[in-house]
Structure 1
Amino acid sequence: MNATTARGALLAALACVLVGGSFTANSVLGDYPYAGGQFLRYALAFVLLVPLAGPGATARLRGLGAGGRLRLVLLAAVGMVGFNLAVLAAERTAEPAVPGVFVGCAPVVVAVVMPLLEGRRPQRVVLYGALFVAVGAFTVQGWGRTDAAGIAYSLCALAGEVGFAVLAVPVLRPLGPRLLSATVCGIAAAESAAVGVLVDGTAWLPRPDAVEAGALLWQAAVVTVVGFVCWYMGMQRIGAERATLFSGLIPVAAACTAPLVGTGAYGAAQAVGSALVCAGVAVGSGAVPRPRRRKAEAASPRHDTGAGAREVPAGRQRLPERSLE
């Protein structure tokens, strides 16, 4: 793993740990209107991100064209507002572990979908790592009571998590992580306001109390501003497939922080699941180097004369290895 890949992995890991730790903040926002809370979170994040967007932001946005700008609207609607709405709807008839298990399958879906969209085959090592991550996420969270509606909304949440990565890929390079984060937060704030007015009417944006204000400030300044920028910087360096592997750290971070606020316990299942997630991330992201075959000696007609030796014609050079795609 070179320096760029290592830096990208650390950025993606930090982003997902921040998101997982934010579940403790969500626990104190249960009585606050959902859409109003999302509006405050994304609007404040937008205000904080705009000065970081860099010069020429307007020109870069215009350069995307209508198709690129539509993709930004979809990214905010599907991967941010829609994802959170789907999780909320799923938890009405299902225990929280159910949508968590479905979202934990996002690395597997992205490991398959992203290469196919780019006209190549999935990388086996990434797919194997994603499977480990999904199993680990399931082990951390377990399963819970649900019904058909809970499963349907959980599938929508999975689609939102996948869309948050896949839809960003074509616009990440021209916009950069900071401008992309600022733009989608501004769009998500507007979309949340529209949802709030339609669903909650005039009561969509009450004044938060001190505890709710602190939780919203944490979500906006730390989870959204720092988390989103780190996520997209990491994805820019290691790609969507490997970056999404780190989403398995979200339930791990949530499980680790839940005892701090008395909303859960960290036991043997969480420890085993955390180990599986870490193993999958390490393998799929390339943190664990794969063993390489020893190079053949060009001057020697064969490597060995012992049992299982394989003859190599003199002068024949082995072709360089390439990644499995």
Structure 2
Amino acid sequence: MAAISAPTLVGLGVAATSRLTAYPALASQGARYLVGAVILLAVFRGRVRPTAWPNLRDVFGLVALSAIGLALFSFASVEALTDASVAGVGVIIGCVPIVLAIIGAVVERRRPERLVVVAAIVVTLGSLLVNDVGALGSRGLFFAVVAMLSDASFSLLSVGLVRKFGPIPTAFATTATAGVAMLAAAGPAGGGVPMPTVAELVAIVYLGVTVSAASFVLWYRGLAILGVARAGLFVSMIPIGSLIGQAILAVRSLTIGAVAGVAIVFCGLLLGSRASRLGLQAQDGLDLNGGTKG
């Protein structure tokens, strides 16, 4: 449930992100990450403390995750939307399940599972139908590909930290690090931090609460249980969440193709759930508060 809820929230956030294309990207995304960090601190309090003392490798991993998986993804997503439609960007990001099904297994030091790869192809095809292709200029295409690679890196770089420190400490550390770094860079390199409009402020707060806080914790829980390759299948829920968000904002109506795409995505997830059950039977469970179950 955590793995399916997190990307759905991210998809809903894509529609909100489209409201921030006129506001400096570093400032808007840095602010929403800091909002997320504050929410996590307020809700979980003492549980944001790591369960183990980080070493130099952990610090490097945290910085890389915050820079590539969070900051670069958010910046690239906003920049892509200046020269592409939400659907167009979603088509590219929808390829993440295939990347994670193959590379995720390699990172976890095992061979890619055939059933997971097939399921990833199915959910990706469904995502393409949900997105209805959309518009992509050359600049939009470039930044959409950057966002896709960054999104894949987010899960790949997260899994080791989540296993060692747990979902909540990892989510807090990454959002706080990315937020401070992006706001610090916004002044000299990103157009400063101007006063947002009401619509922009609402979008920033919404993204901070739902995407930077709630979806991060949920996604890290999913990673801890399923692993990168199998959890990656649920990235296909991002375009479905985006479709729902666009429908709510009345900027897109449902089509037969989109409905068919949703059905195909869920068929792929059902196929992947069979692979997940088989995979979970073959490995020990992970303690969601960090570390393995002894």
Interval of TM-score (by shorter of Structure 1 and Structure 2): 0.7 to 0.9
- Provide the rounded CA distance (Å) in 2 between the counterparts of 1:94 and 1:237: 35
**Cross-structure match for 1:233:** 221
Change (3 A) 1:147 1:218: closer
Partner SS state of residue 111, structure 2: coil
The alignment covers a number of residue pairs equal to 280
Larger helix share, 1 or 2: 2
Counterparts in 2 of 1:126 and 1:53: CA distance versus 1, 3 Å: farther
Equivalent-residue separation in structure 2 for 1:216 and 1:254 (angstroms): 16
C-alpha distance in 2, partners of 1:244/1:272? 21
Higher mean C-alpha displacement, 208-217 vs 259-268: 208-217
1:98 corresponds to which residue?
88
From 207, 210, 219, the equivalent of 2:195 is 207
Residue in structure 2 matched with residue 242 of structure 1 by the alignment: 230
Cα deviation, residue 233, structure 1: 0.9
* Per-residue Cα deviation, 1:136-181 (whole angstroms, up to 9, x for no partner): 1111113244455443322211110111100001111121100000
The question of whether the paired residues in 1 share the 8 Å contact of 2:21 and 2:82 is answered with no
- CA RMSD in angstroms comes to 2.4
Mapped partners of 1:232, 1:83: distance in 2: 17
Cα separation, 2, equivalents of 1:198 and 1:171: 31
- Tell me how far 1:57 sits from its aligned partner: 2.3
Aligned ranges for residues 189-200 of structure 1 at < 5 Å? 189-200=179-190
Query: Is residue 80–residue 188 contact of structure 1 (8 Å, CA) maintained in 2?
Result: yes
Q: How does 1:1-325 map to 2 (within 5 A)?
A: 10-51=1-42, 52=44, 54=46, 57=49, 60=52, 63-201=53-191, 204-286=192-274
Q: 1:223 to 1:144 in 2, by over 3 A?
A: closer
Length-normalised TM-score, structure 1: 0.79
- Structure with max Cα Rg: 1
The residue that corresponds to 1:303 in the other structure is none
| Counterpart-to-counterpart distance in 2, 1:286 and 1:243 | 13
Percent identity of the aligned residues?
28
Letter in 2 for 1:100: G
User: Partners of 1:239 and 1:118 in 2: how far apart?
Assistant: 8
Q: Can you give the 5+ residue segments of structure 2 that lack an aligned partner in the other structure?
A: 284-294
SS in 2 for 1:122: coil
Partner amino acid, structure 1, of 2:101: A
Query: Following superposition, which runs of at least 4 residues in structure 1 exceed 4 angstroms of deviation?
Result: 287-290
Deviation (angstroms), 1:19 = 1.3
| C-alpha separation in 2, matches of 1:11 and 1:278 | 16
TM-score by length of 2: 0.86
Higher relative contact order (CA 8 A, sep 6+): 2
For 2:41 and 2:20, locate their aligned partners in 1 and report how far apart those are by CA, in whole Å. Answer: 26
